[in-house]
Amino acid sequence: MRPESLESIQRIIDNVEQVVFGKRDVVKLCAVGLLARGHLLIEDVPGIGKTTLAQSLAKSVDCSFTRIQFTSDMLPSDVLGVSILNPKSNEFEYRRGPIFANFVLADEINRTPPKTQSALLEAMSEYTVSVDGTTHALPAPFMVIATQNPIEYEGTYVLPESQMDRFLLRVNIGYPPEDDERLVMRRHDPLKAIASLKPAITASELVVLQEEAGGITVEASVEQYILDIVRSTREHDQVRLGASPRGAQALFEASQARAMIEGRDFVTPDDVKLLAGPTLAHRLLVKSRGADLAAAGLERERIVREIVNGTKVPV
């Protein structure tokens, strides 16, 4: 691994930590998603800093950024764009929507109906948008960072399994330590702190880092360890639908990215253990649903931990 690559990654993490206090592990998890070319679902209670984290991460790369505030009356065209008749040429012209950016913040994604949520499926999977029979390529790098509140029901819609499967990682922020919460309390306006951030790397540098992360060595026994964990989710007696092959790929690529962040050119079983929950839990359908999304999420995480603890670790 190039020393300058590790320096670039550290600059991104340090940059975000200027705004997000006391959550280094969470910031590093987001950096994993960034290096693995994945999309992030940040799920937590209101006021915890979901949007602040997403904006800080996007601001740390010198790329285009758009924020889409999802609401119940949004249409797919509000995300993808629309063809409009030009009266001068008497031809339809495509007006691009806010999805055409390097970083797209899908804020409160579960507040929009499934029809509009599905507008993101092609973009998140194939990095293209199809409108009126024409396919348009999205810019590279491309990343969707979505937020949702797991404890609120009124005016919200459950994200379909096909969309959940397209998020590389599901991230919980949690409450900050007391000393860091004091710093948050004293800071009147986080928007000023976000606005003052300078990009840590360029878009082209990020693409190089992503390619380098994809070249991190995964030894055959560690590959098998990943497969054993993923396939066990499909055989667990409390799971109706286990992780898909995309889930195995997500755990593989996320483990490569974490190894790179830790300064290694190879993946260890500890990388896999740490990332099994964030990459697999949100992809499971359990037989006993909790009272709300938060409870269901905790149940899925418990099952993944149980599977990881019961899977033989390669030596």
DSSP 244-298: -HHHHHHHHHHHHHHHHHTT-SB--HHHHHHHHHHHHGGG-EESS--SSHHHHHH
User: Residue 293: what pLDDT?
Assistant: 66
Q: How many C-alpha atoms does 298 have within 13 Å on its Cβ side?
A: 8
Could you give the domains of the chain? 214-315 (1.10.8.80)
Chunked mean pLDDT (size 10), the chain, 315 residues: 89 94 94 96 89 93 94 93 84 90 94 90 94 91 92 77 93 92 86 90 95 96 97 93 95 98 96 97 82 74 95 92
User: Residue 150: what pLDDT?
Assistant: 79
Cβ atoms within 10 Å, residue 101: 21
Q: How far apart are alpha carbons 304 and 306 in whole angstroms?
A: 5
Q: Any idea what DSSP says for residue 140?
A: S
User: Residue 91: what pLDDT?
Assistant: 82
Of 125, 163, 130, 161, nearest to 146 (Cα)? 163
End-to-end Cα distance, the chain: 24
User: Residue 287: what pLDDT?
Assistant: 81
User: Residue 83: what pLDDT?
Assistant: 86
User: Residue 151: what pLDDT?
Assistant: 74
User: Residue 292: what pLDDT?
Assistant: 62
User: Residue 187: what pLDDT?
Assistant: 85
Q: How far apart are alpha carbons 265 and 273 in whole angstroms?
A: 18
Q: How far apart are alpha carbons 117 and 161 in whole angstroms?
A: 11
Q: How far apart are alpha carbons 81 and 75 in whole angstroms?
A: 10
**Does the pTM of the predicted model rise above 0.85?**
yes
